[in-house]
Structure 1
């Protein structure tokens, strides 16, 4: 599944739901909430988390989790504001798509 343009929204949402969490927890959360549709590799998630941190949308710190030292990420105030904006954008997009393609999948399309 192509997530271009949607990965930040997914990651910010997972961090919002989890509070402070390490990257693997974010991966598990997305996989579980999407019933396996978003089973993202670490090579996708960690670079995106680092980029979100550089952009000031998440902050991280080292913590000991289950006897392991891990980097734990959390939303910043700018991250929460960006999440609100991205959720609004997604709802407008989804409503528009629903209006065009209809409420149920079309069968028999080739």
Structure 2
């Protein structure tokens, strides 16, 4: 099994960098949500965050629905044009946390060990 460097996780998934020959490969992030894995660049992660935000906007009319947190009728687009995910609002919240937490940790690392370093 290949080694990994975990970035972020929650109850629904995880994100990590792959290690290759004891070096962390920083150009892409492996994001695993439910049973689906995505291998995204930082830019694609930002695009996925935008897709999640768009899904919230498209499904805001369901606020009064008593099933809104349980049904799997929301279609979540991904940066991969051929792949959409059917998710409930709970799952949408979880993947949003996963993506935003991952981006936060990446940006924090970039700041601490990049431009913010004296």
TM range (shorter): 0.3 to 0.5
Task: Name the structure with the higher strand share.
Answer: 2
Task: Name the structure with the higher helix share.
Answer: 1
Higher relative contact order (CA 8 A, sep 6+): 1
